[in-house]
Amino acid sequence: MTEASTEANYGTGRRKTATARVFLRAGNGEMTVNGMGMDDYFSSEVLKMIVRQPLQVVEKEGEIDMSATVRGGGSSGQAGAIRHGLSRALRRV
Protein backbone atom coordinates (compact mmCIF):
# COMPACT_ATOMS: atom_id res chain seq x y z
CA MET A 1 0.00 0.00 0.00
CA THR A 2 1.49 3.32 -0.97
CA GLU A 3 1.44 6.35 1.28
CA ALA A 4 -0.73 8.29 -1.18
CA SER A 5 -3.27 5.50 -1.38
CA THR A 6 -6.76 6.45 -0.20
CA GLU A 7 -8.25 3.16 -1.36
CA ALA A 8 -9.35 0.72 1.35
CA ASN A 9 -8.60 -2.97 1.11
CA TYR A 10 -11.30 -5.23 2.47
CA GLY A 11 -11.41 -8.74 3.93
CA THR A 12 -14.10 -10.85 5.57
CA GLY A 13 -13.14 -13.22 8.34
CA ARG A 14 -15.07 -15.89 10.21
CA ARG A 15 -14.42 -18.04 13.24
CA LYS A 16 -16.95 -20.11 15.17
CA THR A 17 -20.08 -17.93 15.06
CA ALA A 18 -18.27 -14.58 14.72
CA THR A 19 -18.02 -12.65 11.46
CA ALA A 20 -15.74 -9.65 10.89
CA ARG A 21 -15.46 -7.10 8.11
CA VAL A 22 -11.97 -5.59 8.06
CA PHE A 23 -10.92 -2.46 6.15
CA LEU A 24 -7.28 -1.39 5.72
CA ARG A 25 -5.82 1.97 4.73
CA ALA A 26 -2.32 3.40 4.74
CA GLY A 27 -1.79 5.20 8.02
CA ASN A 28 0.01 5.13 11.35
CA GLY A 29 -1.23 1.85 12.86
CA GLU A 30 -4.55 2.92 14.36
CA MET A 31 -6.82 -0.07 15.03
CA THR A 32 -10.54 0.24 15.75
CA VAL A 33 -13.12 -2.46 16.42
CA ASN A 34 -16.83 -1.58 16.27
CA GLY A 35 -15.96 2.13 16.55
CA MET A 36 -13.79 1.67 19.67
CA GLY A 37 -10.03 1.51 19.97
CA MET A 38 -8.82 -2.08 19.94
CA ASP A 39 -7.25 -1.66 23.40
CA ASP A 40 -10.65 -0.58 24.75
CA TYR A 41 -12.60 -3.32 22.94
CA PHE A 42 -10.39 -6.27 23.93
CA SER A 43 -9.28 -6.30 27.56
CA SER A 44 -7.02 -9.36 27.23
CA GLU A 45 -3.47 -8.90 25.92
CA VAL A 46 -3.68 -12.36 24.33
CA LEU A 47 -6.68 -11.31 22.20
CA LYS A 48 -4.89 -8.12 21.12
CA MET A 49 -1.86 -10.21 20.15
CA ILE A 50 -4.07 -12.54 18.09
CA VAL A 51 -5.46 -9.59 16.13
CA ARG A 52 -2.00 -8.07 15.50
CA GLN A 53 -0.34 -11.29 14.31
CA PRO A 54 -0.94 -10.84 10.54
CA LEU A 55 0.56 -7.33 10.60
CA GLN A 56 3.62 -8.59 12.48
CA VAL A 57 4.15 -11.41 9.99
CA VAL A 58 4.23 -9.03 7.00
CA GLU A 59 6.12 -6.39 9.03
CA LYS A 60 3.52 -3.66 8.42
CA GLU A 61 2.61 -2.92 12.05
CA GLY A 62 2.44 0.86 12.50
CA GLU A 63 2.03 1.48 8.75
CA ILE A 64 -1.57 0.41 8.16
CA ASP A 65 -4.80 1.58 9.83
CA MET A 66 -7.41 -1.11 10.44
CA SER A 67 -11.11 -0.67 11.02
CA ALA A 68 -13.17 -3.77 11.84
CA THR A 69 -16.84 -4.45 12.38
CA VAL A 70 -17.46 -7.75 14.14
CA ARG A 71 -20.68 -9.51 15.18
CA GLY A 72 -21.57 -12.73 16.91
CA GLY A 73 -19.58 -15.11 19.07
CA GLY A 74 -17.51 -14.37 22.13
CA SER A 75 -14.39 -12.30 22.46
CA SER A 76 -12.04 -15.15 21.43
CA GLY A 77 -14.08 -15.94 18.31
CA GLN A 78 -14.28 -12.25 17.43
CA ALA A 79 -10.50 -11.83 17.73
CA GLY A 80 -9.98 -14.88 15.50
CA ALA A 81 -12.48 -13.58 12.94
CA ILE A 82 -10.72 -10.19 12.84
CA ARG A 83 -7.35 -11.95 12.38
CA HIS A 84 -8.82 -13.98 9.51
CA GLY A 85 -10.31 -10.88 7.83
CA LEU A 86 -7.08 -8.93 8.36
CA SER A 87 -5.07 -11.71 6.72
CA ARG A 88 -7.39 -11.76 3.72
CA ALA A 89 -7.26 -7.96 3.35
CA LEU A 90 -3.44 -8.00 3.56
CA ARG A 91 -3.29 -10.42 0.63
CA ARG A 92 -4.71 -7.62 -1.53
CA VAL A 93 -2.22 -4.99 -0.36
- CA 11, CA 46: separation in Å to the nearest integer? 22
Task: Give exposure, 48-60, as e/b (b: 16+ Cβ within 10 Å).
Answer: eebbbebbeeeeb
Q: Work out the average pLDDT over 76-85.
A: 98
Q: Average per-residue pLDDT in the chain?
A: 93
Which residue type sits at 81?
Answer: A
Domain ranges of the chain: 9-91
Q: Work out the average pLDDT over 39-59.
A: 96
Q: Work out the average pLDDT over 63-82.
A: 97
- CA 72, CA 12: separation in Å to the nearest integer? 14
Q: What architecture is domain 9-91?
A: 2-Layer Sandwich (3.30)
